[in-house]
Amino acid sequence: MEEENKLPLHGVRVLELGTLLAGPFSGRLLADFGAEVIKVEPPGKSDPMRDWGKKKDGVGLWWPIQSRNKKSITLNLREEEGQAVLKDLVKESDIIIENFRPGTMEKWGLSYEELSEINPGIIMVRTSGFGQTGPYKSRAGFGSVAEAMGGLRYVTGFPDRPPSRIGISIGDTLAALFATIGCLTALHERERSGKGQIVDTAIYEAVFSVMESTVPDYLLTGYLRERMGNILPGVAPSNIYLTQDGTYIVIGANADGVFKRLCEAMGQPELANDPDYATHDARGKNMKELDALIERWTKSLPAKDCLLLLEEHGVPSGMIYSAKEIVEDPHYQDRDMILSVDHPELGDFPMPGIVPKLSRTPGKVNHPGAEKMGKNNDEIYGDLLKYNDHRIEELKERQII
């Protein structure tokens, strides 16, 4: 591969030991940008993600997205012989991703201390519900629990109803994003020190990190942010508004200059100077009345005409998209955000594009992941580790791989 055509993480080898969401999502992000990600599954017991989501012709539709660009091997880490094989792989790798309950790797004789003796440059990315230390470290911790204890569930939903969840596994995804940032940071630092380190990401902490000013609001003013539906406290106008054809649109015009442009789009420029709405604080105090004024206007127009007017005046606004609107939107298509990847069983397979966009060395999706467990066993154990055919067959017979 010519140097200028290499992806940014070309030459970085990752062992992905985790299952389900948080760990494997980090692996997906690294693989998108060229890392060689080797997905490890126990022989005879696949990652449950292979069966999650809707199915087409018996094929799970979530797995090809989560496992794209990855290689697949089988390895039994519960057995000493399997642990020895992993140590051989660690010698040839840069990063380990795992999201087991804390203490599991240590129980298997695969602690960071033991592995770093084999490879001092190894980076271990560890994602768990509550982190590797603290009184809760041994608790089982799914993303749903972390969303609750990180504070997100408490403020999600409407005030007259119980706490709600967001319609995706946001806790796991946030943890994966923070873990990937930590991984790349450690990888960069290693260039200077030559040493690896542990990246310890707790899912509840990843959620808590995006909770804005909720803690100082409470500790310094006694204000406890509650569920408020589609609004944020003190931020107006920023809500959903019904239009003439029964469609809801989102308008965000909470900055003074943008609010002035919204008033002009509504044909009511005088509202921008009304003392009840002229400042951020005033709009926050009078948001209910202001939202009613705006919705009176949006109800007078079809959604398309309303959005066109708002766009002409530079007011942030948009439809509330389902998957149907997403796949039909020309902007998504122009920015390659719906990729079509060849799947060995399903043919053209649509999946989300790569984020972020790099101008010179953008990421790439080469394939939708291994549809069969252990597809790359011969390549990894034979070509990479130089195990001979007899050794590989023995490992298979003993159900180590």
Compute the distance between CA of residue 254 and CA of residue 135 in angstroms, rounded to an integer. 42
Which of 172, 200, 217, 291 is flagged as catalytic?
172
Name the packing angle between helices 303-312 and 256-265 (round to 10°).
130
Per-residue CA distances from 334 to 91, 327, 329, 390 (Å)? 42, 11, 9, 51
Stretch 277-297: mean pLDDT: 96
Identify whether the C-beta of residue 176 lies closer than 8 Å to the C-beta of residue 125. no
Would the pTM of this model clear 0.85, i.e. be above it? yes
Buried b (16+ CB within 10 A) or exposed e, 206-232: bbbeeeeebeeeeeeeeeebebeeebe
At 8-33, the pLDDT tens digits run 999 999 999 989 899 999 999 999 99
What is the model's pLDDT at position 220? 97
Q: How many residues does the chain have?
A: 401
Instruction: Work out the average pLDDT over 85-110.
Output: 96
Q: List the alpha helices (DSSP H) in 119-225.
A: 143-149, 170-193, 203-208, 214-221
pLDDT at 288 over 60: yes
Q: Which two tokens stand for residue 285?
A: 């105090």
What tens digit of pLDDT does each residue of 357-399 get? 999 999 999 999 888 899 999 999 999 999 999 999 999 999 9
How many Å apart are CA 177 and CA 183, to the nearest integer?
10
The answer on pLDDT for 233 being more than 90 is no
Q: Return the pLDDT at 339.
A: 95
- Is residue 4's pLDDT more than 90? no
- Identify whether 383 is a catalytic site residue: no
Are the beta carbons of 367 and 51 closer than 8 angstroms? no
Please give the share of the chain, as a percent, with pLDDT higher than 70.
Answer: 99
Q: Cα separation of 61 and 346, whole Å?
A: 10
Domains in the chain with CATH codes: 3-210+334-397 (3.40.50.10540), 238-321 (3.30.1540.10)
Reply yes or no on whether the pLDDT at 2 is more than 70.
no
